[in-house]
Amino acid sequence: MAEKIKKRSVKAGLPPGTLVHIGTQKVGESLIRILDYDEHGVREKNKAAVDECIPFRDTDSVTWIDIEGLQDIKLLGRLGECYRLHPLILEDILNTDQRPKSDDMESYIFVVLKMLDFDPASMEIISEQVSIVFGRNFVISIQEGHEGDLFEPLRERIRSGKGSIRKMGPDYLAYSLLDTIIDHYFLILEKIAERIETLEENVVSDPGPETLRQIHRLKREMIFLRNSAWPLREMIYGLEKSESELIRPATKIFLRDIYDHAVHIIDSIETYREMLSSMLDIYLSSVSNRMNQVMKVLTIIATIFMPLTFLAGVYGMNFKFMPEIGWRWGYPLVLLIMFTVAAVMLYLFKKKKWL
Amino acid sequence: MAEKIKKRSVKAGLPPGTLVHIGTQKVGESLIRILDYDEHGVREKNKAAVDECIPFRDTDSVTWIDIEGLQDIKLLGRLGECYRLHPLILEDILNTDQRPKSDDMESYIFVVLKMLDFDPASMEIISEQVSIVFGRNFVISIQEGHEGDLFEPLRERIRSGKGSIRKMGPDYLAYSLLDTIIDHYFLILEKIAERIETLEENVVSDPGPETLRQIHRLKREMIFLRNSAWPLREMIYGLEKSESELIRPATKIFLRDIYDHAVHIIDSIETYREMLSSMLDIYLSSVSNRMNQVMKVLTIIATIFMPLTFLAGVYGMNFKFMPEIGWRWGYPLVLLIMFTVAAVMLYLFKKKKWL
Amino acid sequence: MAEKIKKRSVKAGLPPGTLVHIGTQKVGESLIRILDYDEHGVREKNKAAVDECIPFRDTDSVTWIDIEGLQDIKLLGRLGECYRLHPLILEDILNTDQRPKSDDMESYIFVVLKMLDFDPASMEIISEQVSIVFGRNFVISIQEGHEGDLFEPLRERIRSGKGSIRKMGPDYLAYSLLDTIIDHYFLILEKIAERIETLEENVVSDPGPETLRQIHRLKREMIFLRNSAWPLREMIYGLEKSESELIRPATKIFLRDIYDHAVHIIDSIETYREMLSSMLDIYLSSVSNRMNQVMKVLTIIATIFMPLTFLAGVYGMNFKFMPEIGWRWGYPLVLLIMFTVAAVMLYLFKKKKWL
Amino acid sequence: MAEKIKKRSVKAGLPPGTLVHIGTQKVGESLIRILDYDEHGVREKNKAAVDECIPFRDTDSVTWIDIEGLQDIKLLGRLGECYRLHPLILEDILNTDQRPKSDDMESYIFVVLKMLDFDPASMEIISEQVSIVFGRNFVISIQEGHEGDLFEPLRERIRSGKGSIRKMGPDYLAYSLLDTIIDHYFLILEKIAERIETLEENVVSDPGPETLRQIHRLKREMIFLRNSAWPLREMIYGLEKSESELIRPATKIFLRDIYDHAVHIIDSIETYREMLSSMLDIYLSSVSNRMNQVMKVLTIIATIFMPLTFLAGVYGMNFKFMPEIGWRWGYPLVLLIMFTVAAVMLYLFKKKKWL
Amino acid sequence: MAEKIKKRSVKAGLPPGTLVHIGTQKVGESLIRILDYDEHGVREKNKAAVDECIPFRDTDSVTWIDIEGLQDIKLLGRLGECYRLHPLILEDILNTDQRPKSDDMESYIFVVLKMLDFDPASMEIISEQVSIVFGRNFVISIQEGHEGDLFEPLRERIRSGKGSIRKMGPDYLAYSLLDTIIDHYFLILEKIAERIETLEENVVSDPGPETLRQIHRLKREMIFLRNSAWPLREMIYGLEKSESELIRPATKIFLRDIYDHAVHIIDSIETYREMLSSMLDIYLSSVSNRMNQVMKVLTIIATIFMPLTFLAGVYGMNFKFMPEIGWRWGYPLVLLIMFTVAAVMLYLFKKKKWL
């Protein structure tokens, strides 16, 4: 996180609307995919050039321009001119440290959110920014990176004409994109739920510094998830309540549905947070309990053997005049006393329930 | 919980409105019960087929279709067509990981909530999803599982014509279903109150790791209950404030009543949560207190016997020239000194209130 | 608390409006007192029968029916018929596990709240439910139990005609009842403030397990008080903002006054809660501090005597060839070394501020 | 605080509006100061009698009646009659355990708040209640006690005619009184800030039970301050947003200014509260850290000397047949072994970073 | 912070609107820079006198008066007269302990906020107050101190005519000033993020009192930052929602953008706060864990050597009649027993997982 914020300061002092890509610079080209469809057919173009989208600008069919990779700043600039996007919107698209939000710009609506995934190597959550702009007859989606292609099933659905997607407008396509991304959040939550459950057993059966480190790590991830999920909810709420004509009433029912999903995600996150807090309490209590056990063992040992050692020490003294030393039964007597002392001590510990 | 979320990810990528049952798949058939009534009489049909509800669709009597079990996806699809339910509603019914909510769909109102029960074996709370759809002349209730039949007393009330239920519309029947479910929450709270009280005595009289584990378990259950109860309140509030014509003013007074119940449930849950937090504090303090006790015992023993043992050690040294060794009263004198040291130590501990 | 909730589950499954007394069943009869007054005079009837209130129903004078004890369910039913009370209201009156609230039923207003008192034996707070129903020309007040009679001074005021009470309507009488009950809350808060202050001195001067138990007990009572006070405030707020014609503007100024009292009560409760939390922190810190002290004593003793005992042990060995043993000044020399070691240790502890 | 609440219960049962002075009864007379002014001149009267204010009642000049001391209940009653104050207002003035608030009574506005000061002896915050009533042409200010006279500079300003105060109405005078009182809060906050800073250095350099006690005391004072400041903000907000004609628009800009001050005060209080919480955490951590240090010293000493003492013990045994005893180099060898053991132990502790 | 509040009390008792500079008095003169521009050209004047701004007062070009240093109270007074600023506004400008806020004064808008920077020496955050007043054709910006000149890039932009700034009004200039300041917050957050990350590694790898002190310090800084950021957000929100004609709709889109930035800043601050809290928990747990380790070492050592030393002590007693002493294999036997005891102990510790 620190890394991204660091990049951001690069912009301090520049006039607003200056296009600078804030985020990990990825080598290679940005990939453009154009998919134009209406009820009757689909026209598709992969690895397209920017200007190829111009002819679709004024048709009535829905044009979906999907861009992967933010390297090519000029490309975005050209696109912005073509669809008359406000410079601040372009700036927001390039700044990958954006808070999820939606902006109603009258002739189009801008939505930005985080797509989450697990890094298979480190098992950490990685997030990628997705910006969606949709207007009367177009949807532009911009993904930060190349990895994976979450939207392929959607593309397939459009090609095959299954479901009602080809009959609906760009607002429905935008909703479908959001739905795809949000459904992916549940995958992340599942994985986390599994890890929490494993951890919960560990805390009870065998708590150690590693358990602590894992609780800490999960807590950090929950903070991160929460930062993505709360504004996500807000954003969808904004869309649902929007008075823009770009969102049809029929689509709002669907937005209401993903709003419920977002609320559900937040509920889960808060629940996990509370469970982690509770686990930390349990952990601390366990450590205290164990220390108590250790202390008891020490005290029992010391309490039994210190008096005995003292007694042995007394009869180890070299005084000339110690009558007991010469007694016939002195030694057995002392052993008996020692045994009695030890027995009484043990009895007392038993009574105090230390044993 | 993890299990349910896991199932959910199965849906990622499918078009919205695809009917997939998310939850524990139960073998066997779904059970349909039809109860049609008006002021004058009751018509009942158990183990009905779906299509048997069609004739009741356009009558003025109230038709209650009660379905147990979510296995039969086709059945639901057919029912959805018959009563023109939105695909998203059907999806919500099948997805048993739903957050309690109510949706006003104009021609009908959809309500989903959790029915709670105790698992007699593990004494854990189990929850079952109940969906209620009611319109101008029908109520459809869908329960996730077969176990128990909470609604039988209600059915009996309708059959016998006791109370005013037969004179009221489907909104009153829907209210009665909600009332039955919510009344059951109090049963759960009672059981939990009992367990908390037992635990509270334990914490004071004999705290141990088991107490800790129980507090943790109850805390988890409170988190779970809370997640069910808060949206429940919201949901009933939504119904009460609804401007739909499907809910008559006379029924709203009753909804207001269960709203009060829901608030009462939340109050109790929050109270228990606070009591559990307070108990954890007490537990931790008790453990600290006990460790203090143990430490004091250890310190007293060590402080008394270490100097004495040292003294004994001194006169156990084998130096040739140790005048005290040869004294007539050396031994009794040393014993006296030892006794004095011990007495002084004990006196000091007494003064410090460690004894 | 657990007890009451337990009773509540008895009702699960019964139709709404069924009259069942939820609470501790008290033996004996319910006591009815009727007081009818206007500016010109007062008519009083103690130990009245229910039907005796009928003649007053349609007069213009104010009729105050005060009922003590909830045993007689039929009596309430009869009263309900006479004044046309909604079955849910009667249910609420009988259910003594009610959350404070007010309901505007158009022809009358229903108010339910808790009357608090200290149990003189156990010094625990006991609460009794009071329901107040007032309409155009009547006030019905229903107390759960017989103990004490908080309302006698009020009755005396009416009889004597002091103050303006006889000139005002039933809304003012209802206000006076509320005022009497709420004034009693301050008495409870006083007692608690005293106990908190005593406890606070204890925490500083002599903390022990008993202190902890008391903090815990007070915390529980604060949770309980809070549960009564917050809805109380809400309830009075509801009355003050009510648009019902049954509450005259002149009375609203007085309601505003007890609203301020309720806010004051809540402020005090929250303050006490924070003070108790702070005291628990202090308690825990004190325990930690003390353990630190104990540990230091132990460590000082061990650090001084362990090396000394070891030294004595060395010269207690029986080796044939130990030159020091035979030295003339061996013994004094060893004693000197021992003394030096002890002195150095003490100096180090002094420097570390452990002494 | 407990004391004041205790006094309050004296009133339980009395009819509302009964004038009883709740608070510490102060001996001596109440002091009345009358200051009547308009743009042209000032008429002043110290140690006036109540009835002397009557002639000013119907003039157009602003009359400021300043009363110090609440002993003389009759005086207040007479004043109440003269300016037609509601009995509940008089009751609120006398009850010095009032929550800051403002009441708009149409023909006049009533404001009550706390004036804070430091008790020079105990360095504790003391609070004094100030009530302000202002109408079309008068301001009545009532202070609980005699000590100090915060308002003298204001009086001087009126006399000299400096600033615009003589040209403005009673609302501006009331504002000036509030401004004077609120400015005094900053003085209190300063002193507390100083004490917190001193404490902060202590916690780091030399934490002890006294530090703990001071944190606790400051926490209590912050709770107290907060209870005064939050309703203060509310009260000023109420005045600023008031639709009463008694507050001119020109004055509202000034009220907005003291509203900002009140928010600033609350911000500071919350900041100090957080800093105190953070300091308590640091304190607890320091104590833990220290105990850790103590434990390490103990463990190091024990771990080094216990094996050595044992070794010495072994060669102190009196067995007849112990070959080592007779060896020529037995003694030096054992000493060497002992030295080696100690050295290894120290090396291990070094490696574990305990030293 | 304490210092500033202290200064504030200087004002207690003075009439409102009295100009007193609250803050660290800086020696030297205030520096005035005048920049007047419209689409066609730029007129610039550095180290100007106050009265030089009068000629620009009634032109249509935008006049930016930038003042550095608050020493010269008269200067401000003159400026206030010239642009008819309300005395309370001038007071707010001089009081550098101001909470960020915006005031709409109809003919101009007043904005005050904090400019943050790192003190290069102590690495602590220092804050400087910036006040901005803008009207129909002017912007006045007043900075507390001389250090650095954040606004130079902006001035350069105006001179060069790059971007659209010369075509926009004073509201856009005011926005640009705000944008410059807020962009600087990200720089601060970056530095803090770096420090938190370093600290996080320390907590895991090598926690010590220094770690604790750093956590505490960062916590304090977060409290401070939060106090600046929350009202900042509120302030920008107020500007964006303002109905003043001084803010053009085109500028509001830009205000919305910095509003998003402010929300982002708050999000980051809250995240860091949570991470610090979590780190403190980890720290405390680590300390507990370590103490547990230390205790175990102590207990193991004591438990092994105490019984052995006792055994050695027994055979060190000088009784005349101790048969074992004379045995041929007595010594080896005892050594064997000792070895066995030690081995059993070690085995038990292994089993308990202490080793």
Instruction: Provide the 3-class DSSP secondary structure of residue D100.
Output: coil
Q: Which candidate, D119, D115, D118, places its Cα nearest to that of D130?
A: D115
* Residue A309 pLDDT level (bands cut at 50, 70, 90): very high
CA distance linking residue A243 with residue E170, whole number of Å = 31
Amino acid at D105: M
CA distance linking residue A319 with residue A322, whole number of Å = 6
Q: How far apart are the first and last CA of chain B?
A: 51
pLDDT at A1 over 70: no
CA distance linking residue B94 with residue B97, whole number of Å = 9
CA distance linking residue C76 with residue C74, whole number of Å = 5
- Cβ atoms within 10 Å of B271's Cβ, excluding its own: 20
Could you tell me which residue, E150 or E189, shows the higher pLDDT? E189
H helices of chain B, in order, are 2-8, 73-82, 87-94, 152-160, 170-205, 209-241, 249-314, 323-326, 330-351
Please state the rounded mean pLDDT for residues C277-281. 87
User: Quick one: closest CA in E to A102, which residue?
Assistant: E260
pLDDT at A102 over 50: yes
pLDDT at D177 over 90: yes
Q: List, as one string, the DSSP characters of A43-78.
A: EEESS--GGGGGGGGGSSSEEEEEEE-S--HHHHHH
Please state the rounded mean pLDDT for residues D332-346. 92
pLDDT tens digits, one per residue of C152-186: 889 999 998 877 888 888 999 999 999 999 988 99
pLDDT tens digits, one per residue of B151-204: 888 999 999 887 788 888 899 999 999 999 998 899 899 889 999 988 888 887
* Tokens 């549960």, located at residue: C227
* Residue A22 pLDDT level (bands cut at 50, 70, 90): low
To the nearest 10 degrees (0 to 180), the angle between helices E249-314 and A87-94 is 20
CA distance linking residue E340 with residue E333, whole number of Å = 10
pLDDT attached to residue A174: 95
pLDDT attached to residue A9: 61
Contacts of D318 in chain C (CB under 8 A): 318
* Residue C25 pLDDT level (bands cut at 50, 70, 90): low
* Residue C31 pLDDT level (bands cut at 50, 70, 90): confident
Give the percent of chain B with pLDDT over 90.
36
Contacts of E322 in chain D (CB under 8 A): 318
CA distance linking residue B15 with residue D241, whole number of Å = 52
Please state the rounded mean pLDDT for residues C205-213. 80
The secondary element (H helix, E strand) that includes residue D262 is helix D249-314
Which pTM does this prediction carry? 0.83
Map out the domains of chain E as residue ranges: 2-285, 296-351
* Residue B229 pLDDT level (bands cut at 50, 70, 90): very high
pLDDT at B5 over 60: no
pLDDT attached to residue C59: 85
Q: Is C323 on the interface with B (CB under 8 A)?
A: no
Q: Work out how many CB contacts closer than 8 A connect A with E.
A: 161
Give the percent of chain B with pLDDT over 70.
93
pLDDT at B4 over 50: no
- When mean pLDDT is compared over A201-210, B106-115, D287-296, the highest value belongs to B106-115
Q: What is the mean pLDDT of chain A?
A: 86
Chain C (104-133) residues lying within 8 Å, Cβ to Cβ, of chain B: none
Give the alpha-carbon dihedral of A161, A164, A170, A173, to 10 degrees. -80
- Cβ atoms within 10 Å of D209's Cβ, excluding its own: 14
Q: List, as one string, the DSSP characters of A197-238.
A: HHHHHHHHH---HHHHHHHHHHHHHHHHHHHHHHHHHHHHHH
CA distance linking residue B150 with residue B141, whole number of Å = 12
Give the alpha-carbon dihedral of B87, B93, B94, B99, to 10 degrees. 120
Lowest mean pLDDT among A170-184, B73-87, B173-187: B73-87
To the nearest 10 degrees (0 to 180), the angle between helices D209-241 and C249-314 is 160
CA distance linking residue E316 with residue D313, whole number of Å = 7
Could you tell me which residue, C122 or D63, shows the higher pLDDT? D63
Please state the rounded mean pLDDT for residues D191-200. 89
CB of E333 within 8 A of CB of D337? Answer: no
pLDDT attached to residue B79: 87
- Cβ atoms within 10 Å of C307's Cβ, excluding its own: 22
Cβ distance C317 to D315 less than 8 Å, yes or no, reads yes
pLDDT at A4 over 50: no
Cβ distance D193 to E103 less than 8 Å, yes or no, reads no
- Gap from E183 CA to chain D (nearest CA, Å): 24
* Residue D142 pLDDT level (bands cut at 50, 70, 90): very high
Could you tell me which residue, C304 or D353, shows the higher pLDDT? C304
CA distance linking residue D329 with residue C265, whole number of Å = 85
pLDDT attached to residue D284: 84
CA distance linking residue D347 with residue D225, whole number of Å = 56
pLDDT attached to residue C281: 85
User: Quick one: closest CA in E to A225, which residue?
Assistant: E271
CA distance linking residue C225 with residue C218, whole number of Å = 10
E strands, chain C, are 31-37, 42-45, 62-68, 101-104, 108-118, 125-135, 138-143
* Residue B341 pLDDT level (bands cut at 50, 70, 90): very high
pLDDT attached to residue E3: 43
Residues shown for chain E: 355
pLDDT at D22 over 80: no
E328: nearest CB among D189, D253, D321:
D321
Please state the rounded mean pLDDT for residues B22-49. 79
pLDDT at B2 over 50: no
pLDDT attached to residue B211: 85
pLDDT attached to residue E130: 93
CB of C15 within 8 A of CB of B163? Answer: yes
pLDDT tens digits, one per residue of A218-263: 998 999 899 889 999 999 999 999 989 999 998 999 999 999 999 9
Q: What is the mean pLDDT of chain D?
A: 86
Domain boundaries B296-351, corresponding CATH code: 1.20.58.340
pLDDT attached to residue C255: 94
* Residue A6 pLDDT level (bands cut at 50, 70, 90): very low
In the β-sheet with C108-118, what is the strand arrangement from edge to edge?
A: C42-45, C31-37, C62-68, C138-143, C125-135, C108-118, C101-104
pLDDT at D42 over 60: yes
A310: nearest CB among B1, B297, B309:
B309
HEC profile of E84-141: CCCHHHHHHHHECCCCCEEEECCCEEEEEEEEEEECCCCCCEEEEEEEEEEECCEEEE
* Residue A12 pLDDT level (bands cut at 50, 70, 90): low
Instruction: Provide the 3-class DSSP secondary structure of residue E342.
Output: helix
Please state the rounded mean pLDDT for residues A72-89. 87
CB of E322 within 8 A of CB of A331? Answer: yes
pLDDT at C214 over 50: yes
Query: Which pairs from C341-349 meet CB under 8 Å and 24+ separation?
Result: C341/C304, C341/C307, C341/C308, C341/C311, C342/C304, C342/C308, C345/C300, C345/C303, C345/C304, C345/C307, C346/C304, C349/C300, C349/C303
Q: How far apart are the first and last CA of chain D?
A: 51
Instruction: Provide the 3-class DSSP secondary structure of residue D343.
Output: helix
Q: What is the mean pLDDT of chain B?
A: 86
Please state the rounded mean pLDDT for residues D210-238. 90
Question: Any idea what DSSP says for residue C54?
Answer: G
Cβ distance C15 to B267 less than 8 Å, yes or no, reads no
pLDDT attached to residue A5: 47
Please state the rounded mean pLDDT for residues A315-341. 89
Cβ neighbours for B315, distance < 8 A, ≥ 6 positions apart: A317, A318, A319, B322, B324, B325, B330, B334
pLDDT at B232 over 60: yes
Question: Any idea what DSSP says for residue D95?
Answer: B
Please state the rounded mean pLDDT for residues B324-347. 90
- When mean pLDDT is compared over B196-205, E129-138, E280-289, the highest value belongs to E129-138
Give the alpha-carbon dihedral of A161, A162, A163, A167, to 10 degrees. 10
pLDDT attached to residue B10: 62
Q: Which candidate, D227, D195, D3, places its Cα nearest to that of D96?
A: D3
Q: Which candidate, A29, A66, A32, places its Cα nearest to that of A49?
A: A32
pLDDT tens digits, one per residue of B96-140: 888 899 999 889 999 999 998 887 777 788 888 999 999 999 999
pLDDT attached to residue B26: 56
pLDDT attached to residue D146: 62
Contacts of B1 in chain A (CB under 8 A): 193, 271
Q: What is the mean pLDDT of chain C?
A: 86
Chain C (199-238) residues lying within 8 Å, Cβ to Cβ, of chain D: 204
Domain boundaries D2-285, corresponding CATH code: 3.30.460.20
Any chains having at least 3 CB pairs less than 8 A from chain D are C, E
pLDDT tens digits, one per residue of B261-292: 999 999 999 999 999 988 888 888 888 888 88
C321: nearest CB among D305, D306, D331:
D331
Contacts of D225 in chain E (CB under 8 A): none
Q: Is C268 on the interface with D (CB under 8 A)?
A: yes
* Residue E68 pLDDT level (bands cut at 50, 70, 90): confident
Please state the rounded mean pLDDT for residues E316-338. 88
pLDDT at E25 over 70: no
pLDDT tens digits, one per residue of D298-335: 999 999 999 999 999 999 888 888 888 888 888 889 99
* Residue C47 pLDDT level (bands cut at 50, 70, 90): confident
Cβ distance C209 to B282 less than 8 Å, yes or no, reads no
* Residue D121 pLDDT level (bands cut at 50, 70, 90): confident
Q: Is E298 on the interface with A (CB under 8 A)?
A: yes
Q: Is B326 on the interface with A (CB under 8 A)?
A: yes
Lowest mean pLDDT among B196-200, B239-243, C44-48, D247-251: C44-48
CA distance linking residue B253 with residue D26, whole number of Å = 55
pLDDT attached to residue B147: 61
pLDDT attached to residue B1: 41
Lowest mean pLDDT among A56-70, A338-352, E171-185: A56-70
Contacts of D1 in chain C (CB under 8 A): 193, 271
CA distance linking residue C305 with residue B306, whole number of Å = 6
CA distance linking residue C83 with residue C108, whole number of Å = 9
pLDDT at E106 over 60: yes
pLDDT attached to residue E24: 59
Q: Is C88 on the interface with B (CB under 8 A)?
A: yes
Mutation for A interface: B4, B7, B9, most A CBs within 10 A? B9
Cβ distance C284 to B286 less than 8 Å, yes or no, reads no
pLDDT attached to residue B22: 65
Two structure tokens written together for C235: 């309830």
Instruction: Provide the 3-class DSSP secondary structure of residue D5.
Output: helix
Cβ distance E8 to D186 less than 8 Å, yes or no, reads yes
Q: List, as one string, the DSSP characters of B280-318.
A: HHHHHHHHHHHHHHHHHHHHHHHHHHHHHHHHHHHTT--
- When mean pLDDT is compared over B165-174, C288-297, D67-76, the highest value belongs to B165-174
